[in-house]
Amino acid sequence: MDVSRPRLQRASGHSRVVFAMRDGQTRLADLYQRDPCRVLFPDPEPGEPPQAVLVTTSGGVTDGDSLTMAVEVGPGATAVAATQAAEKIYRAARSAEHCAMDIAVAVGEGASLDWLPQETIVFQGARLKRRTVADVAAGGSLLACETVVLGRAASGERFTGGLLLDSWSVRRAGKLAWTDTLRVEGETPAGAGFGPANALATIIGVWDEPQARFERARALLESADAVRAGVTLVNGIMVARLLGEATAVRAATTRFLGDFRGRRLPRVWHV
């Protein structure tokens, strides 16, 4: 008798959205999407650039799932990309397997992109390997954020088992300028500086002249409430961190990004 466990149905999604400058305006140039990945294009506020909102129609991700997402802004174009809601990473059914997310962001010469996904909530027992690679050409600019929440504290859940392997790389004019990896396996690493915190937001900025924006970010973060926050420059890349309880981190990140950008975040952040 075959008592092997049945093979569970898993998702393999892919989306790619490309903006380009045409007739003096930023326009959609290419779009590809495969379930469960979808891209929506809400009307932006007057005077703001086009928006792409990435959606995972499966309602969450679990072990065995594989998602690949790409956002590209061509030379001279300007765009904003976000996600419709927080991404949920569910408990893995099999401890030896994980879900994979690969995200590629490309910004052309003289182009600008705000990559503003909402938080990723990693459930107790979930196993996620995520890689984000940003390639920014000379003269291009990128403002990106990424927030990770470990466990569902509102439900009394702590992240005491599972895996988060979250890596970021930024290439500037074809050369690696910054790379960073967060690995949490099992208990949230209190000894690594997390303390009682269960959420971490990372904000990355890439510009030709970063100093003035770095000074502005530092001034804004000095007034951050209920979170630990700081910012630095690494090889000309601005890296800011906000650490604390999930609700406080989201509120502080929303406030910082709104003030730093000089305009509200996309409407999906406020629904």
pLDDT along the chain (271 residues), means of 10: 55 94 96 96 92 93 93 98 95 83 98 97 94 97 96 83 94 96 77 77 97 97 93 97 96 97 94 73
User: Which residue shows structure tokens 């804004």?
Assistant: 220
Query: Mapping DSSP to helix (H, G, I), strand (E, B) and coil, where does residue 232 land?
Result: strand
Burial of 132 per CB tally in 10 Å (0-12, 13-18, 19+): buried
How much is the pLDDT for 1?
44
Phi, psi of 257 (to 5 degrees): -65, -40
Q: Report the first-to-last Cα separation within the chain, whole angstroms.
A: 52
Burial of 150 per CB tally in 10 Å (0-12, 13-18, 19+): buried
pTM, two decimals, is: 0.93
Instruction: Evaluate whether 138 touches 105 at the Cβ level (below 8 Å).
Output: no
Query: CA-to-CA distance for 237 and 143, rounded, in angstroms?
Result: 10
Beta strand 12-22 with 163-172 is unpaired
Cβ atoms within 10 Å of 21's Cβ, excluding its own? 18
Return the ∠ at Cα 198 (arms to 201 and 254), rounded to 5°.
35
Among candidate residues 205, 204, 214, the one with its CA nearest the CA of residue 141? 205
How much is the pLDDT for 189?
59
Among candidate residues 101, 146, 96, 152, the one with its CA nearest the CA of residue 123? 152
